[in-house]
Chains A and B, each alone.
Chain A
Amino acid sequence: MKLVTVAGPPSSGKTSVILRLAEGLRVQGLKVGVVKFDCLSSDDQQRYEKAGLPVKTGLAGGLCPDHFFIANIEGALQWGQKQGLDLLISESAGLCNRCSPHLHPILAVCVVDNLSGVHTPRKIGPMLKTADVVVITKGDIVSQAEREVFAFRVRQVNPRAAVLPVNGLTGQGSLLLQRHIENAPEIDSLAGERLRFSMPAALCSYCLGETRVGKDCQIGNIRTMDFS
Chain B
Amino acid sequence: MNAPNLLHLPCTEVVRCYPYLADFFSAHGLPLPAGSLSLGDYIDSLDADSLENQGLDRIALVARLDGFIAQMESFRAEGARKLGKVTLVGGHDKSGRGEEVRVDLRPGDVVCVVGPTGSGKSRLLADIECLAQGDTPTGRHILIDDAPPSESARLSGEQRLVAQLSQNMNFVMDLSVEEFLQMHAESRMVEGIDAMIERIFTTAVDLAGEPFTRDTPVTALSGGQSRALMIADVACLSASPIVLIDEIENAGVDRRRALELLVREEKIVLMATHDPLLALSGDRRLVIRNGAIAAVLETSAEEKAGLAHLDRLDRRLAALRDQVRRGERICFDEGLFLNEP
Contact = CB atoms under 8 A, between A and B. Distances in A.
Interface of A: 114-115, 117-118, 121-122, 125-126, 129-130, 139-146, 148-149, 151-153, 155-157, 159-160, 162-165, 170, 172-173, 175-176, 179-180, 197
Contacts of B28: 157
Interface stretch (B66-74, B83-91, B299-307): B66-74
A177 B163 CA distance: 20
Contact of B157 (A159, A160, A165): A165
B188 interface: yes
Contacts of A145: 180, 184, 230, 233-234, 237-238
B316 interface: no
A163 B180 CA distance: 22
A172 B237 contact: no
A158 B54 CA distance: 12
B165 interface: yes
Interface of B: 23-24, 27-28, 54-55, 64, 67-68, 70-71, 75, 122, 126, 129-130, 135-136, 154-158, 160, 163-166, 168-174, 180, 183-184, 187-188, 226, 230, 233-234, 237-240
Contacts of A114: 172
A140 B187 contact: no
A172 B126 contact: yes
B169 A140 contact: yes
B135 A175 contact: yes
A118 B184 CA distance: 11
A170 B155 CA distance: 20
12 contacts: A125-B54, A142-B169, A142-B170, A144-B165, A144-B169, A148-B187, A151-B160, A156-B23, A157-B28, A162-B157, A176-B130, A176-B157
Given A145-B233, A148-B239, A160 B67 contact: yes
B70 A173 contact: no
